[in-house]
Copies of this chain bind each other. A is one copy, B any other.
Amino acid sequence: MSKPMGAIPVEFAADGPMLTVGGRTVDALIAEAGDTPLFVYDLGMVDRRIARFRAAFPSTQLHYAIKANSYGSLLAHVAKQVDGLDIASAGEMDLALAAGMPAADISFAGPGKRDSDLERAIAAGVTLNCESEGEAARALAIARRLGVRPRLAVRVNPDFEIKGSGMRMGGGAKPFGVDAERVPALVRAILAAGAEWRGFHIFAGSQALNPEALIEAQQATLDLAGDLADSIGATPSLVNLGGGFGIPYFGGETPLDVEAVGGALRNALERRHPRLADTVFAIELGRWLVGEAGVYLTRIVDRKQSHGKTFLVTDGGMHHQLAASGNFGQLVRRNYPVAIASRMDEPATEEVSIVGCLCTPLDRLADDVMTPAADVGDIVAVFMAGAYGLSASPQAFLGQQPALEMAVGASG
């Protein structure tokens, strides 16, 4: 029996047999790029996500977590439209600055910052989200040595997490942030040292599809920020509420009702602690902004039978799409949405497994799915490839050729 796969995002269309991305057929895109495998990012789709966020969250800043996808032209396009970039390494800091984002609107999280990372960030004027008392002390010492007033926020490890979150980043003992009860003392030390205190970064989870869970976590985050500010006796200039907006990868999953989350946050902000009256709030999104906008295109190089099963072997695989192969944090492999991108006008008539070119049984792109009859030369599209795709994959594994990337279809 065939297995389910996730739903193809509704914005994708076809022109005759060919899938289109940003209004252009995939064969034309591959011809322009020169080869497969190819990631194509539809900037128009990203723009529509940004517009949808702005409408639903009119009083909240939007930050982009560039670890989701830092491909040059995509990042430059997004940077122009968001209020801040959140980075997780000195390498990402270089990318964020190159994308034209002012240093004051860049914030640097990550539990393992080296002294050299801290020094570069402080010298550039980037905000450091301090992950521990030790890191804050190192940052203050480096700033004194440099003769610079550092911008320091405190990442808080909250006592709660987004329920049903795809990836838990708060609640209980964690390597991220400072336990909430120790935060006031740390902020007082930062203020006493004469640093510019930039507020809180509170991240309770990621990849949530249940609006109620997000609403509850955002309310708890606001309450925590108010309590902390009250305890400190000072108003944070910014509270980064984290993100956690999920996208539906798998069959049976429902897209997040972003408007419901936005409405609830507006109400919660109206009732917020008076100590937060002048605070700016930000939501930090990565996956939700760009994940659905990316398609991974790979060509079928063999069609073969084994013990009654049909395998389509492609020139791509897990070295570019580790998450789609089921090897990136998933306990059970499930199928991302895939399609035969060169036979979009044909009915799904056969059950196949689509695999990558690597010589390992881990390299699976779709197990036992129904597709139109496809053969060598046809193009396979793996959707939901815009976030944590190429950069989160073992690109050098087995010495296969690298994937290409391109961005298309920015709206006017």
CB atoms of B306 and A401 under 8 A apart: no
CB atoms of A134 and B302 under 8 A apart: yes
Copies of chain A in the complex: 2
Evaluate whether A110 and B329 lie within 8 angstroms (CB atoms) in the complex, with A173-B308, A399-B88 already known: no
Q: Could you tell me the distance between the alpha carbons of A109 and B359 in the complex, rounded to whole angstroms? A: 7
Contact with B along A302-322 (1 / 0, CB 8 A): 111111110101110100001
Q: Could you tell me the distance between the alpha carbons of A167 and B362 in the complex, rounded to whole angstroms? A: 9
CB atoms of A306 and B157 under 8 A apart: yes
**Stretch touching chain B among A254-262, A263-271, A390-398:** A390-398
Q: Is the interface of A mostly helix, strand, loop or mixed?
A: loop
Chain B residues positioned under 8 Å from A360 (CB to CB):
167
Shortest C-beta distance, A214 to chain B (Å), equals 18
CB atoms of A395 and B398 under 8 A apart: no
Chain B residues positioned under 8 Å from A394 (CB to CB):
322, 391-395
Q: Could you tell me the distance between the alpha carbons of A319 and B88 in the complex, rounded to whole angstroms? A: 13
A119 within 8 Å of B by Cβ?
A: no
Q: How many residues of chain A get a CB closer than 8 Å to chain B's CBs?
A: 73
Q: Could you tell me the distance between the alpha carbons of A172 and B311 in the complex, rounded to whole angstroms? A: 13
Within 8 A of B (CB), among A321-370: 322, 327-329, 331, 353, 355-362
CB atoms of B302 and A132 under 8 A apart: yes
**Stretch touching chain B among A14-22, A41-49, A89-97, A225-233:** A89-97
Pick the residue among B88, B168, B179, B307 that contacts A359 (CB under 8 A): B88
With A111-B313, A132-B304 already in contact, 6 other A-B pairs whose C-beta atoms are closer than 8 Å: A67-B397, A90-B399, A179-B307, A329-B362, A391-B394, A391-B398
**Closest 10 pairs between A and B when the two form their complex, measured CB to CB:** A112-B357, A91-B399, A173-B309, A173-B307, A132-B304, A88-B359, A92-B399, A173-B306, A89-B399, A175-B311
